[in-house]
């Protein structure tokens, strides 16, 4: 038999768990046979002595060892690419099964088993099991020749992006050599796309990777939702192949696909959703030629608002922030030709803010400035009230006084039934916004609530990545903690859409998708870095912190949330309040500054501001992540 045919047989065996289990069974039976025959040379004689004992011992030994291998998930390992860790796992599983067999055999004593036969079979079995798996690896190494020094790559997706990537790989004699495609369109099977054969579907990835000795898998489906990327990564992760991916459609704005666009899979890829359809014409007509102010412009949300505003040709973009470094970094990222006016100011400083409105007369205001870090605001309640509530009031009042057309406040789902200082102060800001709307009816005021954004400086993901880089442990507050997540560009695009459709007095809530367990996210991040949770990197549970909740509730009462013309945006009409809470905010800040109000009493007064108008129509509720965002302004 030729070497190639023998290799194919070995790979066929190693490609399916049931085939490998069947071969293990045969090898275990053979090891028992070897143990008996070497000790009792007359065993296979005419009298068939010890036949009953042989059959009983063979059945008991095979059952014990196979059960242990199965319970230890030995058959979930892709053995043609297994490493030393997998072989140690095999050894531990075998020892557990062998120990169970020895206990059973000498406790129950149903069969005659010479001690020398026992020793022989216990030594022969692991040698056979390891040799079998080593043969699978050798078969993989010898099954196919490849260009020296180049990685064999499999492209997932034989569509336009995949074919463009294949052509670029074939034109370049770099480190990657494309072996073919996989695509879930059965009609493409065995067809040629961009000079490469479609080898099968994603359901056959294991077999195709083994047969063609694949080193790298390239996912070339920019339109694929996060669930599909997550499913593919779950299949590929145990196979010890490199996985690289093309960015989503939103990050391939120029439509060009090349080797340079490939990158490692990250968490954003796993959270992709269907591309959002926007009313670009309406949004652009709102922004084009107008003077636009963005507060908190140096933060995660504020900076993305600036990036999405500029292509829509505003006359002037006033980027206001409290931190000079963040504004400097924003200017660097936007380029020198952008019509951006940088302003360093504190939104709670009424005189400084009035100067900005007087000098630039913004027609549109996107108010993203806020303190949003939950645990920090529990320690600094006065500062949270000063920036989040008073700062919002200053900006909103001045927008009305100086004739702005629209004022869009970035709020949070923590503002509903708040359990944290941050949430209570944001709820107070919403209430202040209502009072300003009543005083300045010509300006359209609206608030947009959403939960976690992935990638913000204060979010949980960068913290996890730092902990993984340090070798762990990764700290999670509670194993059942769940949060909603949205990508920053997605959230901001919906903010712009809501701002364009608002008529004044609305509270918009964004569709955040399905909640994600924080512990599951931590496990996924660990695997994305090439480690195994619990083995290479530990997860440590630290307990729920002050102001946090276990679960988010996206809607308090769905019947109170109306759909809009956009499927991802819900709205509720805010109920005007009889009196402004501004005097209470000012009085609390004054008393706190004088030292007559502090500690828990200060927090109680702040929470009283966030409990107003409980019966309003907009009871849309959720509780965002423990570290939603950074101070944005």
Pair (332, 437) in one structural domain: yes
Active site residue 414: yes
216-219 and 242-245 strand pairing: parallel
Residue tagged 């020398």 (tokens): 116
Give the per-residue pLDDT at 294.
97
Per the listing, tokens 């700290």 go with: 475
Count of domains for the chain = 3
Q: Tell me, what CATH number does 429's domain have?
A: 3.40.50.720
* Per-residue b or e along 497-516, where b marks 16 or more CB atoms closer than 10 Å to that residue's CB: bbbbbbebbbbbbbbbbebb
Same domain for 421 and 496? yes
Asked if 543 and 478 count as a contact pair (C-beta separation under 8 A), the reply is yes
Are residues 96 and 203 both part of a single domain? no
Identify whether residues 504 and 386 lie together within a single domain.
yes
Q: How far apart are CA 548 and CA 43, in angstroms?
A: 71
Domain that holds residue 310: 291-456+483-514+549-610
Whether residues 489 and 588 fall in one domain: yes
Q: What local confidence, expressed as pLDDT, does residue 39 receive?
A: 65
Domain boundary among 119, 142, 165: 142
Residues 204 and 253 in one domain: yes
Give this prediction's pTM. Answer: 0.68
Q: What are the backbone angles phi and psi of residue 482, rounded to the nearest 5°? A: -125, 145
For residue 418, the model assigns a pLDDT of 85
- Give the position of tokens 């809009």: 564
- pLDDT for the residue 308: 93
Do the domain assignments include residue 68? yes
Instruction: Give residue 475's pLDDT.
Output: 92
Please give the C-alpha separations between residue 577 and each of 244, 417, 432, 435, 574, in angstroms, as whole numbers. Answer: 54, 17, 9, 7, 9
Specify the pLDDT at position 383: 93
Is residue 182, in this structure, part of any structural domain at all? yes
Q: Are residues 327 and 376 in the same domain?
A: yes
Which residue among the candidates 290, 414, 482, 631 is catalytic per the annotation? Answer: 414
Q: Is residue 590 part of a domain?
A: yes
Whether 333 maps to a domain, the answer reads yes
DSSP state of 260: G
HEC states along 48-85?
CCCHHHHHHHHHHHHHHHHHHHHHCCHHHCCHHHCCHH
**596 contact partners, CB below 8 Å, separation of at least 6:** none
Q: Measuring CA to CA, which residue among 252, 256, 303, 250 is closest to residue 272?
A: 250
Do both 451 and 577 map to the same domain? yes
Identify whether 616 is part of a domain.
Answer: no
- Helix ranges restricted to H, 72-144: 84-108, 115-142
**For the chain, how far is it from start to end, CA to CA, in angstroms?**
73
Please name which of 224, 228, 218 lies closest in space to residue 264, comparing C-alpha atoms: 218
Query: Same domain for 73 and 209?
Result: no
266 and 327 inside one domain? no
Q: d(Cα 572, Cα 557) in Å, to the nearest integer? A: 11
Sign of dihedral through CA atoms 498, 385, 401, 292? negative
From 115, 142, 169, the end of a domain falls on 142
The secondary structure of 317-367, three-state, reads EEEEECCHHHHHHHHHHHCCCCCEEEEECCCCCHHHHHHHHHHHCCCEEEE
- Which residues are registered as beta bridge partners of 506? 446, 573
What's the pLDDT score for residue 573?
A: 60
**∠ CA 176-179-181 to the nearest 5 degrees?**
115
Is 346 in the same domain as 431? yes
Diameter over CA atoms, the chain: 111
In a domain, 492, yes or no: yes
Angle between helices 300-309 and 324-334 (to 10 degrees): 30
Q: Does some domain include residue 347?
A: yes
In a domain, 282, yes or no: no
Per-10-residue mean pLDDT of the chain, 633 residues long, equals 49 58 88 78 50 80 89 78 78 92 78 78 89 73 53 86 82 76 88 84 88 86 79 81 75 54 72 71 92 95 94 94 93 87 95 96 96 89 92 94 95 85 90 86 90 71 85 88 81 89 84 80 82 86 79 57 75 64 85 79 86 47 38 37
Distance CA 595, CA 183 (A): 68
Measured distance CA(322)–CA(17) in Å, rounded: 60
Q: Are 259 and 334 members of one domain?
A: no
């Amino acid at each position: 038999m030729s070497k190639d045919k023998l290799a194919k047989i070995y790979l066929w065996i190693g490609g399916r768990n049931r085939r490998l289990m069947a071969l293990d069974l045969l090898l275990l039976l053979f090891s028992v046979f070897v143990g008996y025959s070497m000790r009792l040379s007359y065993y296979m004689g005419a009298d068939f002595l010890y036949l009953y004992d042989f059959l009983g011992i063979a059945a008991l030994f095979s059952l014990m060892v196979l059960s242990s291998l199965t319970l230890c998930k030995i058959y979930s390992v892709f053995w043609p690419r297994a490493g030393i860790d997998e072989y140690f796992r095999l050894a531990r599983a075998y020892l557990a099964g062998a120990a169970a067999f020895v206990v059973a055999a000498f406790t129950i004593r149903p069969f005659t088993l010479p001690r020398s036969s026992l020793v022989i079979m216990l030594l022969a079995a692991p040698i056979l099991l390891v040799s079998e798996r080593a043969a699978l690896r050798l078969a993989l190494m010898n099954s196919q020749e490849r260009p020296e020094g180049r990685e064999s790559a499999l492209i997932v997706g034989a569509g336009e992006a995949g074919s463009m990537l294949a052509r670029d790989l074939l034109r370049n004699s770099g480190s990657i050599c494309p072996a073919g495609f996989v695509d879930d369109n059965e009609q493409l099977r065995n067809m040629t796309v961009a000079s490469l054969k479609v080898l099968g579907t994603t359901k056959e990835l294991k077999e195709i990777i083994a047969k063609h000795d694949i080193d790298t898998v390239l996912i070339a489906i920019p339109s694929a939702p996060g669930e599909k990327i997550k499913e593919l990564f779950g299949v590929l992760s145990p196979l010890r192949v490199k996985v690289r991916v093309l960015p989503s459609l939103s990050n391939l704005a120029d439509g060009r696909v090349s080797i340079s666009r490939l990158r490692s899979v990250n968490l954003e890829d796993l959270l992709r959703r269907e591309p959002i359809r926007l009313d670009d014409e309406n949004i652009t007509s709102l922004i084009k030629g107008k003077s636009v102010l963005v507060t908190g412009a140096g933060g995660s949300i504020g900076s993305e608002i600036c990036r999405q505003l500029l292509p829509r040709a505003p006359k002037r973009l006033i980027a206001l922030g409290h931190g000079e470094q963040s504004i400097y970094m924003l200017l660097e990222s936007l380029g020198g030709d952008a019509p951006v006016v940088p302003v360093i100011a504190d939104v709670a400083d009424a005189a400084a803010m009035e100067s900005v409105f007087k000098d630039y007369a913004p027609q549109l205001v996107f108010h993203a400035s806020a303190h949003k870090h939950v645990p920090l605001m529990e320690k600094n309640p006065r500062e949270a009230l000063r920036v989040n509530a008073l700062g919002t009031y200053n900006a909103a009042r001045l927008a009305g006084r100086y004739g702005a057309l629209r004022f869009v406040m970035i709020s949070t789902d923590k503002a509903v039934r708040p359990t944290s200082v941050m949430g209570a102060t944001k709820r107070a800001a919403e209430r202040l916004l209502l009072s300003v709307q009543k005083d300045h009816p010509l300006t359209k005021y609206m608030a947009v609530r959403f939960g976690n954004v992935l990638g913000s400086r204060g979010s949980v993901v960068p913290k996890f990545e730092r902990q993984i880089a340090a070798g762990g442990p990764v700290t999670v507050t509670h194993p059942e903690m769940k949060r909603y997540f949205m990508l920053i560009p997605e959230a901001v695009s919906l903010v712009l859409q809501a701002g364009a459709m608002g008529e004044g007095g609305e509270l918009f809530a964004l569709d955040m998708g399905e909640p994600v367990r924080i512990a599951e996210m931590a496990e996924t991040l660990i695997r994305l870095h090439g480690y195994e949770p619990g083995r290479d990197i530990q997860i440590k549970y630290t307990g729920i912190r002050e102001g946090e909740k276990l679960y988010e509730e996206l809607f308090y009462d769905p019947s109170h949330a109306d759909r809009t013309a956009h499927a991802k945006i819900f709205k509720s009409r805010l109920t005007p309040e009889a009196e402004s809470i501004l005097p209470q905010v000012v009085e609390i800040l004054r008393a706190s500054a004088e030292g007559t109000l502090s500690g828990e009493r200060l927090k109680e007064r702040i929470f009283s501001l966030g409990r107003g108008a409980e019966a309003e129509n907009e009871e849309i509720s959720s509780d965002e992540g423990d570290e939603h965002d950074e101070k944005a302004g």
